[in-house]
């Protein structure tokens, strides 16, 4: 009774498969006349006994479980040069001779990707390919349990009773499985749209640690190709009167700048400076410059376009608006450094300022130059004490600059004590800046301005009148 039911079921399925193939062929031909499709209908066979190696029983057809014709359907479509996708479906009653299962209902259906290296070659009749795919697989594995305490008596490579042995390992079967497959195939085209397909694939059941559910599948199919583009007679277009107001050879309806003569590569817009950037997108339309600066030049080559460069003819860092650093800039950076009370140790807040000063001194603005680092104090205290602490504080700054990469032989620390007061008592509430603002409103501000570290170029004119005061040991 069960066999009769399966026979009727298979017969109806094969009729359905034939009807589906005919419908798809008609649909493909009618709706995809500019695409490359083919349909294959054929038979397949499975081999569960050769999974341990293709040279161990791979060509032993006695171990194959063969399903009659109309048991496999393939629909494939080219998606790019040398690549195609396909849908494959196989059905039948097959044996798993490895596990001793006979005449069980089998379904394998899924999508695949093909690489066809000769699809564009001059060899039209020979069309090999490699294929990988992902599939749904239904087969009667439910109820088969194998473990160390429950071995399974079956066969290994060949369907040979003399090779009976107990299969071991961990295997817990289920009917519905996810299968990944890969293999090779060849299309032999006997005519333009008619041919024969031969294909062999290895199927890996991903959810099992053992290969008892893995199998080879071989198939032979008749294939039909559709989608040859029909050539149509092209009539010459009627003559068109073209309007070109600016006379640049580009019709006004295609010219983005119809009133100004331009170039074809810029859709009719001009490039006045010839730098390859149309004027509409060029920040400097009358000066040639690279695209990275929106068409503006960088005369000094410092990476800052002239239009944004404070010193376009002289290289300088971006942090100083493209101008080279000056010694006074380093001194300004050190203006707000502080030391521990009655000490030459820099405060933690001052270290980043010294680091920034070192970055300036390392810039190519000062290439090859040497510097004095001069320490100054306020009026409070004896000259001897101030001379000593000013030298120590200048030395502390020098040591931090060396840590930041300044060469030791480029720096000389000097102590000037209170010999060069920047603010005197007579300047309090009197001295003004160029805008008329009071510089030193009180004594505390005056003293703070005098406590400073100054950097001088050893070759500068100011150095000749600046001498280190004597420091008593």
DSSP 315-339: ---GGGTTPPP-HHHHHHHTTT--B
Q: Is residue 335 part of a domain?
A: yes
- Report how far residue 287's alpha carbon sits from residue 294's, in angstroms, rounded to the nearest whole number: 11
CATH number of the structural domain spanning residue 216: 2.40.160.20
Q: Does residue 245 belong to any structural domain of this protein? A: no
What's the domain range around 181?
A: 2-226
Burial of residue 170 (number of CB atoms within 10 Å: 0-12, 13-18, 19+): exposed
Same domain, 72 and 208: yes
Three-class DSSP category at 59: coil
Domain boundary among 205, 226, 247: 226
Q: Per-residue confidence of the chain (473 residues) as pLDDT tens digits?
A: 444 444 444 444 454 444 444 444 444 333 333 448 889 999 999 988 887 755 667 777 877 899 988 899 999 998 888 899 999 999 999 988 888 888 899 999 999 999 988 877 667 788 899 999 999 999 999 988 888 777 776 655 555 566 656 677 788 889 999 999 999 999 998 887 889 999 999 999 998 988 889 999 999 999 998 776 666 677 888 877 778 787 788 887 787 888 888 888 888 888 888 888 898 888 888 888 888 888 899 888 888 898 888 899 888 888 888 898 888 888 888 888 888 877 889 889 989 999 999 999 998 888 889 999 999 988 988 888 889 999 999 999 999 999 999 999 999 999 999 999 989 989 899 999 899 999 899 998 898 888 889 999 888 766 655 667 666 55
Residue 320 lies in a domain: no
Are 182 and 115 in contact, with CB atoms under 8 Å apart?
Answer: no
Distance CA 144, CA 164 (A): 17
CA-CA-CA-CA torsion sign (249, 250, 253, 255): negative
Residue 313 lies in a domain: no
Co-location of 44 and 159 in the same domain: yes
Is 312 among the domain residues? Answer: no
Could you give the number of structural domains in the chain? 2
Whether residue 213 is found in the same domain as residue 331: no
Report the CATH number that the domain containing residue 339 is assigned in CATH. 3.30.1330.60
Q: Which of 397, 392, 405 is nearest to 472 (CA)?
A: 392
Distance from C-alpha of 245 to C-alpha of 251, rounded to nearest angstrom: 8
Whether 379 is covered by a domain: the verdict is yes
Residue 222 falls within a domain, yes or no?
yes
Question: Last residue of a domain, which of 175, 209, 226?
Answer: 226
Last residue of a domain, one of 226, 253, 268: 226
Same domain flag for 59 and 193: yes
Q: Is residue 316 part of a domain?
A: no
């Amino acid at each position: 009774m069960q066999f009769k039911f399966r026979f009727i079921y298979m017969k109806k399925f094969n009729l359905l498969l034939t009807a589906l193939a005919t419908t798809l062929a008609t649909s493909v031909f009618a709706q995809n006349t500019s695409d490359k499709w083919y349909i294959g209908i054929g038979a397949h066979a499975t081999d569960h006994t050769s999974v341990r190696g293709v040279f161990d029983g791979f060509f032993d057809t006695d171990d194959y479980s063969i399903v009659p014709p109309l048991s496999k359907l393939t629909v494939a479509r080219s998606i790019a040069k040398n690549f195609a996708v396909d849908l494959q479906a196989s059905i039948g009653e097959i044996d798993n001779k490895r596990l001793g299962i006979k005449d069980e209902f089998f379904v394998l259906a899924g999508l695949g990707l093909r690489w066809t290296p000769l699809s564009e070659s001059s060899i039209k009749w020979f069309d090999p390919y490699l294929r990988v795919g992902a599939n749904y697989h239904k087969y009667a594995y439910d109820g088969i349990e194998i473990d160390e305490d429950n071995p399974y008596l079956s066969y290994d490579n060949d369907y040979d009773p003399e090779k009976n042995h107990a299969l071991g390992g961990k295997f817990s079967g289920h009917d519905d499985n996810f299968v990944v497959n890969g293999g090779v195939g060849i299309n032999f085209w006997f005519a333009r749209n008619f041919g024969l397909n031969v294909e062999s694939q290895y199927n890996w059941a991903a959810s099992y640690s053992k290969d008892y559910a893995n199998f080879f599948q071989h198939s032979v199919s008749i294939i039909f190709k559709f989608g040859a583009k029909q050539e149509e007679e092209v009539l010459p277009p009627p003559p068109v009167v073209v309007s070109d107001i600016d006379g640049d050879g580009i019709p006004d309806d295609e010219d983005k700048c119809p009133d100004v003569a331009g170039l074809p590569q810029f859709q009719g817009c001009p490039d006045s400076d010839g730098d390859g950037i149309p004027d509409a997108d060029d920040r400097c339309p009358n000066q040639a410059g690279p695209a990275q600066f929106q068409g503006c030049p960088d005369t000094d080559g410092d990476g800052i376009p002239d239009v944004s460069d404070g010193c376009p003819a002289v290289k300088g860092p971006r942090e100083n608006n493209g101008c080279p650093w000056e010694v006074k800039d380093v001194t300004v950076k050190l203006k707000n450094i502080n030391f521990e009370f009655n000490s030459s140790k820099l405060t933690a807040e001052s270290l980043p300022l010294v680091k920034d000063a070192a970055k300036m001194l390392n810039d190519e603005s000062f290439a090859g130059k040497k510097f004095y680092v001069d320490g100054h104090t306020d009026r409070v205290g004896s000259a001897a004490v101030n001379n000593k602490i000013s030298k120590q504080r200048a030395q502390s700054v020098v040591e931090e600059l060396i840590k930041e990469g300044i060469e030791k032989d480029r720096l000389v620390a000097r102590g000037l004590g209170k010999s060069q007061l920047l603010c005197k008592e007579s300047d309090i509430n009197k001295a003004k800046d160029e805008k008329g603002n009071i510089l030193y409103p009180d004594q505390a501000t005056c003293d703070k301005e005098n406590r400073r570290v100054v950097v001088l170029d050893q070759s500068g004119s100011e150095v000749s009148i600046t001498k280190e005061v004597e420091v008593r040991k």
